[in-house]
Amino acid sequence: MKLFRITALSCLFLCTCLSVAQSNKKNILLLCIDDLRPELNCFGASYIKSPNIDALAKKGLIFKNHYVNAPSCGPSRYTLLTGIYGPPQNDAIFLRAKALKNKNNSVNLSMPEWFRKNGYTTVSIGKVSHHPGGEGGVDWNDPNVIEMPNAWDKHLMPVAEWLHPRGAMHGLANGEIRKNSKDMDVFQSTEGSDMIYPDGYIAKEALHQLEQLTADTTKPFFLAVGMIKPHLPFGAPKKYLDLYKGVQLPPIPSPEKPIGISTWHKSGEFRRYNLWDKDPNVDKQFADEVRRHYAACVSYADAQVGKILKKLKKTGADKNTIVVLWGDHGWNLGDHAIWGKHNLFEEGLRSPLIISYPGIKTKGKSTRAVVETVDLFPTFCELTNVEIPNFTNGTSLLPLLKNEKKQGHVAFAYRGGAHTLRTQRYRFTLHDKKGAELYDHEKDPFETTNISDINLDKVAELTLLLKEKIQAKAKSTF
């Protein structure tokens, strides 16, 4: 009996220690913003009203040269959530799910599944994977078609009057759902509260989940919240557009269509909407209207971020939470005569990244080191003392978080029949159908002059490096 008592007490002590150790693990709050180019006040765009993201930046490190691995929602989020380079298609995450269903043993654990395995409660709200809510089917609400099996304890998408996630994804004010794109205005500004657009409900659900997650002190949480705006169509409550009344917008730095081989396209996604027979490439006034409505959407998304961060602080969990703000790719607002994403220019690939956590050594600083989205999986692991899996393609950003002057590395991306590298100085893009682009960012930061023909040695050097990345991608897909 005496031995049993000691053993029971020992077990109780051990369980208590494990519980305390688990609760001391850092939480993760991942804020994903759709189609957000790094045009924020804290990134140097002084005309943009982004006070909440700016406040987060003052508490963390700004990565001014962060690049996604694909300039489209699906494949970019694939790399974020798996830590590996993947298929370039928009349904990349669903392709992974299909491989899992076929019992493909080469499919590695996703990032949320990895943290779930390591004792975390994982919750996603809004657009974190490609479909808001993480389901497929006709209206993206079929519980039998899951984008990321085994990843989330909860994957949520409040739809309110938009009826279903597909309706909310491209929804405008007060329940307007996209049926025929040509019948939906490319931008809109409507009187009302934040709740007249879907992101208001996403933020509200995030506040509710934070209450529940922080109430459980025995398990750390991984909470991912995905805002839809500023994705097309550009709709936001009027009060956010009013912020830009009379504001002088800077000129578009590289408005001309590129000459020669490139990943330029006709802005098909943008031009599917009602443009009132106007073309922003020739109508400057209309171009500025589009840009102001985009800016209004940025400020609207910023306001939702503010609500979530305020709630995190109110719960007290901010003292033990890593907060990361990530944009899933850039967006050309007339740069290179493109209105949209889907290109391998700087504007299509560069996106905001801010990392903040209690005790960060680089608080309020910024780095120009080149980094990429696949780096986030190993970074989250190192920051939480979770083992880094051996299959990730990325490199932990912890050295930069300790010293912003540390060097980065090359960033790799792909789109259709082209692959690109961004070094600290150059962008190099190689096309499968022969041809290359080389831009010197020290002399040509807006990538207007292709110098590949007169820099053959640099082309040869970067071709070898790029092919190594392409081989790594081929090995890591599924």
pLDDT in tens, 213-242: 999 999 999 999 999 999 999 999 999 999
Is the confidence at residue 99, as pLDDT, over 80? yes
Task: Point out the catalytic residue in the list 32, 42, 66, 130.
Answer: 130
Smallest Cα–Cα separation from 304: which of 28, 32, 27?
Answer: 32
Sign of CA dihedral 287, 289, 295, 297: negative
Is the confidence at residue 17, as pLDDT, over 50? no
Q: What is the DSSP letter of 109?
A: P
How far is Cα 462 from Cα 460, in angstroms, rounded to an integer? 6
Which SS3 state, helix, strand or coil, does residue 45 take? coil
Helices then strands (H, E): number in the chain? Answer: 14, 20
Residue 90: which region, alpha, beta or left (left: phi > 0; alpha: psi -120 to 50)? alpha
For residue 313, the number of C-alpha atoms closer than 13 Å in the C-beta half-sphere is 9
Q: How many domains, the chain? A: 1
The H or E element spanning position 332 is strand 332-333
Q: What is the DSSP letter of 10?
A: H
How far is Cα 152 from Cα 149, in angstroms, rounded to an integer? 8
Residue-wise DSSP of 122-181: EEEEESSSSSTTSEESTTS-EEEEESSTTT-SEEE---GGG-SHHHHHT-BGGGB--SSG
How far is Cα 98 from Cα 455, in angstroms, rounded to an integer? 44
**Residue 469: inside a domain, yes or no?**
no
Q: What is the mean pLDDT of residues 363-378?
A: 98
**Residue 471: inside a domain, yes or no?**
no
Is residue 11 flagged as an active site residue?
A: no
What tokens were used for 395?
């490199």
pLDDT score for 333: 98
Is the confidence at residue 3, as pLDDT, over 70? no
pLDDT score for 438: 98
**Residue 2: inside a domain, yes or no?**
no
Is residue 381 flagged as an active site residue?
A: no
**Residue 47: inside a domain, yes or no?**
yes
CATH code (residue 322): 3.40.720.10
> Of how many residues is the chain composed?
478
CA dist list (Å): 357 to 7, 65, 323: 39, 20, 6
Give first-to-last CA distance, the chain, whole Å: 54
Non-local CB neighbours of 447 within 8 Å, separated by 6+ positions? 254, 336, 345, 346, 427, 437, 439, 441
Parent domain of 364: 26-409
- Where do we find the tokens 């805002």? 227
pLDDT in tens, 384-395: 999 999 999 999
Q: 24: pLDDT confidence band, cut at 50, 70 and 90?
A: confident
Are residues 80 and 67 in contact, defined by beta-carbon separation less than 8 angstroms? no
**Residue 220: inside a domain, yes or no?**
yes
pLDDT score for 475: 84
- The Cα diameter of the chain in Å comes to 89
Provide the pairing of β-strand 353-356 with 60-63.
antiparallel
Q: What is the mean pLDDT of residues 51-70?
A: 98
Q: What is the mean pLDDT of residues 351-361?
A: 98
The mean of the pLDDT values for the chain is 94
What tokens were used for 12?
């109780």
0.75 surpassed by pTM: yes
Task: Point out the catalytic residue in the list 42, 73, 297, 381.
Answer: 73
**Residue 109: inside a domain, yes or no?**
yes
**Residue 461: inside a domain, yes or no?**
no
% of the chain beyond a pLDDT of 90:
92
pLDDT in tens, 410-441: 999 999 999 999 999 999 999 998 899 999 99
Q: What is the DSSP letter of 283?
A: -
pLDDT in tens, 109-141: 999 999 999 999 999 999 999 999 999 999 999
Find residue 62's DSSP bridge partners.
354, 366
pLDDT in tens, 318-354: 999 999 999 999 999 999 999 999 999 999 999 999 9
Q: 449: pLDDT confidence band, cut at 50, 70 and 90?
A: very high
Are residues 208 and 285 in contact, defined by beta-carbon separation less than 8 angstroms? no
Is the confidence at residue 291, as pLDDT, over 90? yes
Q: What is the mean pLDDT of residues 88-104?
A: 92
Q: 7: pLDDT confidence band, cut at 50, 70 and 90?
A: very low
Residue 123: what residue type?
A: V
How far is Cα 459 from Cα 428, in angstroms, rounded to an integer? 8
HEC states along 198-263? HHHHHHHHHHHHHHHHHHCCCCCEEEEEEECCCCCCEEEEHHHHHHHCCCCCCCCCCCCCCCCCCC
How far is Cα 44 from Cα 37, in angstroms, rounded to an integer? 12
CA dist list (Å): 134 to 5, 306, 382, 386: 48, 24, 27, 25
**Residue 11: inside a domain, yes or no?**
no
pLDDT score for 23: 53
pLDDT score for 230: 98
- Where do we find the tokens 């990361």? 324
What tokens were used for 80?
């974020």
